[in-house]
Chain A
């Protein structure tokens, strides 16, 4: 049986004002696949994540299909309801809004957008507690305002908790390893690995090989100069670790 394509990006051009950031990027991720994107700083990796998730303020050409449907006309919340999740490189603080309140509002907004019944509090609490225990997220964190005063590691764990709770079809992890010590990296990676399934795709953005020791990718794409320069298997990540990105930057310059 042929594995269906989950995310398909066709000839994506993105610019902000005069500055061109993505330059004809194409990429395909199949159901069940974990694809890694590696590339030097400032090459447009985070922009790619934002554009897929629907952040505005970019001039965009090309197509992004999720499960065969063009999602470019959809607002970010509509894309979320279709099962798209972005774990932010810098999760945002929302003062005064208890984490638990935020999680419940988000989950129920997605459920009602999909025509599903809203989750009642006891059921919701149970799910949050299960996910929280696995990720070492404390009750105290759940009571505090979302991400306010959280350490870098706590914020990243909270992102993975939200991913586990929302159960997306397709998740993008934007430099989830940045700011994590080795123990936190293990916890976060275990959280991601637990969600791997044939029904779910991942796009893991990083510029270090380190994360890929824990989250083993099926495919590795090298991104530079706003497009994919090379695609391969896990061995490509190791090669990059040894030789760096010089070759790719040089090639385009």
Chain B
């Protein structure tokens, strides 16, 4: 059907060139010399005025990293990365550690404004009703601003850059850092442990329901700079927090490396909801440029009846290698993974989750929706496993893939292991194309080809969009339309 062909062609043509956030902010920055060695690790640690234990921790990670090699099992293909050709530290010059928004370079604030992220609290307050979100903004290697700090402090919630947490709350950081993703976990996580620059730290005390959404926006600006942020979220007994991260980067011909680590810890009866809207620059239509996104995200349901839920909307990055996981350690704990991964152009996505059932009567749920267009490849890779002691564990997995056009691919690679006979694991998977029948039907009722496609895609991802906090669901829906069509939204 020509209308379908036309839609596919339009998607091919506009794909990633429609990337809205590709601008570069011309701002003076301070960088460490290119390349990686022990001196660079010490340099980063010194820049952050870190205590000796953390410097040693980083050096230990670095030495370990030297003995490791890049994982090759994912269904992604990219030229080898020259780790000596990257900058591992870059900071906007005027901000050794801004104490208020007034100290922040106005150029930076303008950048965030362009990205649609209001950093000024009064703007947020003046804005849409109920949109009260505390924001931590990370620009290259440093956090430039955190909003609503005082109000959060009243509730006892700590929300600050992790570099600040190292200084202000060393006992919390030392207790939990690396306790979910150990230093030795994998090549990229180990690299991150050696050179991590900034990221967010959240601690919600016992019995506290965090009074607002917390959010971090990550921006890679500098050329040839790797971004290695580290996020640590601890929900103490009976607490609740909802956290959202968003990511963008300028358009560049070179690939850029992003290797983050996120650790979540939920103690007894605590709940963490972690949402991501990832829109790193995906590269151009020929696959030139774009972010390499090698991220380790893991949540530890350490306490009884604790609950961690990951929701992700992934539209960016040239390469995505990412498996937000849950370790269901506490009896009766629950893990959830809701994912929409959209790939277009030459993007390659290998993403999924791991649900490790250790405790009794643990439950997990996985809903994954992959949408492939252009010449992209989209793989769901997931592991559901039950330990010997995971009496009564249950999992439900549903993986659906939608193909737009005939040059893209969708793959599903589920691993299921059970060492306990009482567990119940269910797995459902479907792959479908937007059919000519559906498009013709919707067009016969008056919808244009683009509107019909958008409607069908939105229907496909609806279950997952419903998991996002309201204000971000709308944003995510728009983002999906833009990544697929350009003409819609």
Residues of A at under 8 Å CB distance from B?
Answer: 50, 53-57, 75-77, 79-81, 85-86, 88, 91-97, 101-102, 105-107, 109-110, 113, 145, 162, 166
Contact = CB atoms under 8 A, between A and B. Distances in A.
Nearest to A87: B444
A97 B455 contact: yes
11 contacts: A57-B1, A75-B3, A76-B444, A77-B444, A77-B448, A92-B435, A94-B456, A97-B458, A101-B455, A102-B445, A109-B448
A51 B447 CA distance: 18
Nearest to A110: B446
A75 B450 CA distance: 12
B459 interface: yes
B442 interface: yes
B13 interface: no
A75 to B, nearest CB: 6
Contacts of B449: 75, 77
A96 B446 contact: no
A145 to B, nearest CB: 7
B460 A106 contact: no
Nearest to B2: A56
Contacts of A145: 459
Contacts of B463: 96
Name the 4 nearest CB pairs between A and B, nearest first: A96-B459, A97-B459, A110-B446, A106-B445
Contacts of A86: 444
A94 B446 contact: no
A42 B440 CA distance: 21
B437 interface: yes
B459 A77 contact: no
Contacts of B437: 92
A54 B455 CA distance: 20
A50 B436 CA distance: 12
A158 B436 CA distance: 20
A57 B451 CA distance: 21
Given A106-B447, A109-B446, A113-B446, A56 B455 contact: no
Interface in B430-473: 435-438, 440-449, 451-452, 455-456, 458-463
B462 A96 contact: yes
A110 B444 CA distance: 10
Chain B CB count within 10 A is highest, among A96, A102, A107, A162, for A96
Given A50-B440, A106-B447, A109-B445, 8 more contacts: A55-B440, A77-B443, A86-B444, A91-B441, A94-B456, A95-B459, A106-B442, A110-B446
Nearest to B465: A96
Contacts of B455: 94, 97, 101-102, 105
B459 A94 contact: yes
Given A57-B1, A166-B446, A76 B440 contact: yes
A96 B458 contact: yes
Contacts of B461: 96
A81 B446 CA distance: 6
Interface residues of B, number: 27
Residue from B440, B449, B460 with most neighbouring chain A CB atoms (10 Å): B440
Contacts of B460: 95-96
B161 to A, nearest CB: 39
A163 to B, nearest CB: 10
Contacts of A93: 438
Contacts of A76: 3, 440, 443-444
Given A56-B2, A81-B446, A110-B446, A105 B459 contact: no
B1 A107 contact: no
Contact of A77 (B435, B436, B446): B446
A57 B437 CA distance: 12
Contacts of A57: 1, 436
A88 B1 CA distance: 17
B436 to A, nearest CB: 7
**Which of A109, A145, A162 counts the most B-chain CB atoms under 10 A from its CB?**
A109
Contacts of B447: 77, 105-106, 109
Given A57-B1, A57-B436, A145-B459, A106 B446 contact: yes
Nearest to B430: A95
Contacts of B446: 77, 80-81, 106-107, 109-110, 113, 166
Contacts of A101: 455
A162 B445 CA distance: 8
B441, B442, B445, B448: residue with the most chain A Cβ atoms closer than 10 Å: B445
A101 to B, nearest CB: 8
A89 to B, nearest CB: 12
A203 to B, nearest CB: 15
B314 to A, nearest CB: 19
A80 B443 contact: yes
Contacts of B443: 54, 75-77, 80
A145 B461 CA distance: 13
Contacts of A109: 445-448, 451
A17 to B, nearest CB: 15
Nearest to B462: A96
Interface in B1-18: 1-3
A84 to B, nearest CB: 8
A62 B437 CA distance: 24
Given A77-B447, A109-B447, A92 B456 contact: no
Contacts of A50: 440
Interface in B324-352: none
B331 to A, nearest CB: 35
Contacts of B459: 94-97, 145
Contacts of A106: 442, 445-447
A54 B449 CA distance: 13
